[in-house]
Structure 1
Amino acid sequence: MHLIELLKDWPCTIQGNWRNVTIDSVTEHPNRLKRNCLFIARKGAHHDGVESIEEALERGAAAIVIDRPVSESVLSQWSQRGTAVVTVPDCKRFLSYSSAQLSGNPSEELTIIAVTGTNGKTTVTHFIGQLLAQFGIKTAVLGTTGCYIDGEKFDEELPSLTTPPAEYLHPLLRKCKDRGVTHVALEASSLGLEMERLAHCRVSVGVFLNIGTDHFEEHGGRGNYIAAKKKLCSLSEQLIVNSEDRECMGIVKDVELPIHLFGRNVAGGCMPSEELIGTLPPGEHNRLNAMAAASVVKLLGFPERDIFTAFRSLKLPEGRMQLIEHEGRRVFVDYAHTPDALSAALQAVTSLNPRKLICVFGCGGDRDKEKRPEMGKIAETYCDTVILTSDNPRSEHPLTIIQHILRGTEEPASVRVVLDRKRAIHQAIAQSMPNDIVLIAGKGHETSQIIGNKEIRMSDFAEARTALNQLETLL
């Protein structure tokens, strides 16, 4: 696409050589620049793209886009190098717009279901994909665990973000469409919504699951977090909302869109039998997740009887209540990293009537400090033994994080601290007995751990399996 064609419907000013400039792709990362690529100098939380313009020019950027004032001398310097400099009101929205345009607006050709909520997004999107598969609908599921088409992992390079940036999202949607996909269930994170990653993605159905405690610090407070979630309303043609969540109901109360409600006992105005409910994965939260997914599929026009019958085949995605069993011991690996999610996971395993319940968890560094003591209190309430360990401490000292968690506990005898996560998992399993349950919470499907500025290999599931195998050799 010619640059001037891309810009014709967008407010902007242009300096430098813009004639005969052809654009094939767009990026905000200089290391992804290739021939005929447009560089967006967006200001991020930790880096200002303007600082990378020289690198982008050296790498051969076809044109530069900025949204902040720079001196005339600098603008002149850039444009004199033969590169067009485009000034737009908002780089975030222009990145979304240009990515969609250069990919041929694939969302216009797909049925997009965008799911938001503090907890449950991954499970609900996978449930939607599994239910639609029962009706022969080729579906892509996109989110925290990557991209799946008809349940198979699609080998595509994506950043480890819940909602991919627009420069990845729209080309991926185009590839899905080219592979025969007609429906896409994607996770819409609060950060993704705030960063306008879905601003030019046509959403057929928006789903609100719940509002809990997470990412408040990154948004600058609870109000900003909820405002980010609410952006999904303006992107969607109709909404499905958890009637049991007060915050979700508050978000949509003044929204002039068709709104459909679900709850633990009803999906799309219909109730499945208790027999079918009993076939779902354990936990009230998974009951709600299944009802949310069923509501979506019913809204898309599929018969409720067949939808509820398909409950028998629903499987949780990787790292969500993922079970390993050995000699009567049950170990669950779960992504629960918020107070509500940890409470739901512990309630679910408690319902399985373990002899003893042992929980291993920590909290991530550099974010949401207020949730730490609350999670400590929750774990202590449900468990016979709690082992506190590192999650992704990032730049914080792991012991500082654990001290925050300990503020919510009252019985030190039931709580132990093992900073090394591998050791913590091995110790928890080594002390378990037949009919005990060990819940390893916080990282789920993740296969690495961020400590300081290093990322090391670490899989809770792999370590749990290793610990159980070692236990067998000791018996």
Structure 2
Amino acid sequence: MKLSHLLKPWMEQSVMDCMISGLENDSRRIHPGDLFIAYAGAAADGRLFIDKAVSSGAVAVAYDPAGFPGNCVLPESVPCIPVPQLSMQLSSIAKQFYDNPGYFLNITGVTGTNGKTTIAYQLAQAHHLLGQKAAYIGTIGQGNVNELQLLDNTTPDSLYLQKLLHQYKNQDTRQVCMEVSSHALAQHRVDALEFNQAIFTNLTLDHLDYHHSMENYARAKSLLFARESLEWAIINQDDAYHKIMAAAIKPQVKKLTYGIHQDCDVRAKKWFMDIYGTEIEVHSPWGQHQIKIKALGQFNIYNSLAIFSSLLAAHYIPEQVVEVMTQLKAAPGRMEIVAHTPYVLVDYAHTPDALENALMTLNQLKKGRLWVVFGCGGDRDKTKRPIMGMVADKLADHIVITSDNPRTEEPQVIINEISQGIAPTSKVIQRINREEAIAYALGNADENDVILIAGKGHESYQQIGAVKHQFSDQEVVRRLIQK
């Protein structure tokens, strides 16, 4: 594509034109023929690496002129185009370069504090089982759910996201089911995407280090529901913030509400749960149906209602949807059963609400005592730490506090902040080393006990400082049990 075509609104006629073969905002990944897109990011200022990008083969540079670093000189060997508020323009620039791939795809965006991964992952499975090629994008990776490739973020940056959609389109994918984080919405990463459906799960305490208040957090989430492109908005009516999402919806967009406690369009009236799964009686505009799922917990009832609503809104036959939902597999690290004696589960629960939901579910099913092994991530929202301690103290019989991903924080400081929410009379075991914490629980639990290892779920690493060390809760449990 010609540079003048891609950057027409910002490019003066006197500027030398050239052909662009790729887009890149990381100088380390530049290929000859790329346009280097340089702006100030959260961790580094890309404009400081313009020379490196050009020496690696970039044939042009688009840069944000605001606050341009004084020690940075633009090269004269390639065209350099100033684009004001460049980070906000990335999505539309990438959309133009990749020829608007989203136009050829049905894109469902799932947003909320908890449940995004399960809903998007299982929704992609369901579309595939119902005969449409589908891709997933989110916390546990991207692509076909049986062959996921890892991602750095829940929602990729604008350039990579449009590149993925372009690949999916060329692979004849029809459905894309993606998690949409509040960060992605606030940072304009998905501005140029044409979503067909938007799903709201819930809003609970998280990310206040970024948004500063629940009101700001809710407003960021509501941006997904203000899209002109939407055909359906699917909203959890039981959540306290549902009205904020509903208020953002454009008049032409159809709305479906789901829930358990409130009058809504798709409602679970009755359910039965055992260690093998849950059976739900669902009432909806499509009639009354019995849905069986291989999942535990009231939160998974909500997730299933969202999936059911989305599939029926997509015009699938209800009876086929009911049959497919019995076949859906849980996302990795989401209430994943790793051992049976004792009963050990690994879950991604890393917010107070998610931890409470998981522990409440296991309390209903346990035959012995309930153990919880968990920590909190470093360099993230600190306000939730004592609250998670309080939740564990209220619902677990035994608490083992350990490290999650401490990042640049001191692990013992994080553990101490979690402990502030626990009564002084409660017995708490502290082990900074996560493997030692898991080993303690396994070594002291009886065969009828239940152990929940929470916080990291699917992750195959533990970040200490700036280094990611190989670490998997599941692998640790299996290795320790074999011993």
With structure 1 as the length reference, what TM-score do the two structures score?
Answer: 0.92
- Is it true that 1:180 corresponds to 2:194 in the alignment? no
Deviations 1:359-392 (A, max 9, x none): 0000001111100000000011111110000001
Aligned residues: 461
In the alignment, the residues of structure 2 paired with residue 129 and residue 74 of structure 1 have an alpha-carbon distance, to the nearest angstrom, of 48
Q: Is the 8 A contact 2:237 2:264 kept in 1?
A: no
Question: CA–CA distance in 1 between the matches of 2:430 and 2:69?
Answer: 58
Shift of 1:57: 2.3
- Matched letter for residue 321 of structure 2: I
Q: Deviations over 1:303-336 (max 9, x none)?
A: 223323333222211000110224x311000000
Instruction: Give unpaired runs (5+ residues) of structure 1.
Output: 471-475
- Give 1:252 shift: 2.2
Q: Helix, strand or coil for the counterpart of 1:83?
A: coil
CA distance in 2 between partners of 1:396 and 1:207 (Å): 34
Of 380, 383, 402, the match for 2:396:
383
Shift of 1:259: 1.9
Secondary structure at 2:172 match in 1: coil
Counterpart of 1:92 (choices 87, 109, 124) is 87
Larger relative helix fraction: 1
Q: Distance in 2 between matches of 1:34 and 1:387?
A: 48
Letter in 2 for 1:144: T
Partner residue, 2:35: 38
Deviation at 1:245, TM superposition (A): 0.6
Q: 1:112–1:183: 8 Å Cα contact kept in structure 2?
A: yes
Structure 1 pair 58–16 and aligned structure 2 pair: CA distance change class (3 A): farther
Alignment of 1:385-404 (within 5 A): 385-404=398-417
Contact kept, 8 Å, 1:209 with 1:242, in 2: the verdict is yes
Structure 1 residue corresponding to 2:444, chosen from 408, 418, 431: 431
Q: How does 1:170-209 map to 2 (within 5 A)?
A: 170-209=162-201
Shift of 1:270: 6.3
2:58 to 32, 57, 61: 61
In 1, the alpha carbon distance for the partners of 2:410 and 2:459 equals 21
The residue number in structure 2 matching 1:317 is 331
Residues 262-301 of structure 1 show CA distances to partners (whole Å, capped at 9, x for unaligned) of 1137985466874732544110000100111111111101
Matched, 1:78 2:74: yes
CA distance in 2, matches of 1:70, 1:61: 23
In structure 2, runs of 5+ residues without a counterpart are 273-278, 281-291
In structure 1, give the amino acid aligned to 2:372.
C
Matched residues in 1 for 2:48 and 2:216: separation?
28
Task: Indicate the larger mover: 99-108 or 291-300.
Answer: 99-108
Cα distance between partner residues in 1 of 2:30 and 2:14? 20
Give the TM-score, by structure 2 length: 0.90
Q: Distance in 2 between matches of 1:410 and 1:38?
A: 57
- Say whether the 8 Å CA contact 1:267–1:292 is kept in structure 2: no
Q: Which residue of 2 aligns with 1:287?
A: 301
Give 2:249's aligned amino acid. V
Distance 2:343 2:3 in 1: 59
For 1:103 and 1:125, the matched residues in 2 are separated by 24
Q: Report if the CA contact (8 A) 1:280-1:286 is conserved.
A: no
Amino acid at match of 1:408: G
Q: Which amino acid aligns with 1:243?
A: Q
Runs of 4+ in 1 over 6 A off after TM superposition: 70-75
Partner of 2:238: 244
2:16 to 15, 18, 37: 18
Partner of 2:287: none
Paired-residue identity, %: 33
What is aligned with 1:340?
353
1:107/1:267 CA distance change after superposition, 3 Å:
farther
- Bigger shift: residues 371-380 or 207-216: 207-216
* 1:462 shift after superposition: 0.5
Among candidates 98, 115, 122, match of residue 120 of structure 1:
115
The 1:44–1:213 alpha-carbon spacing in structure 2 relative to 1, beyond 3 Å, is same
CA contact (8 A) 1:357 1:438 kept: yes
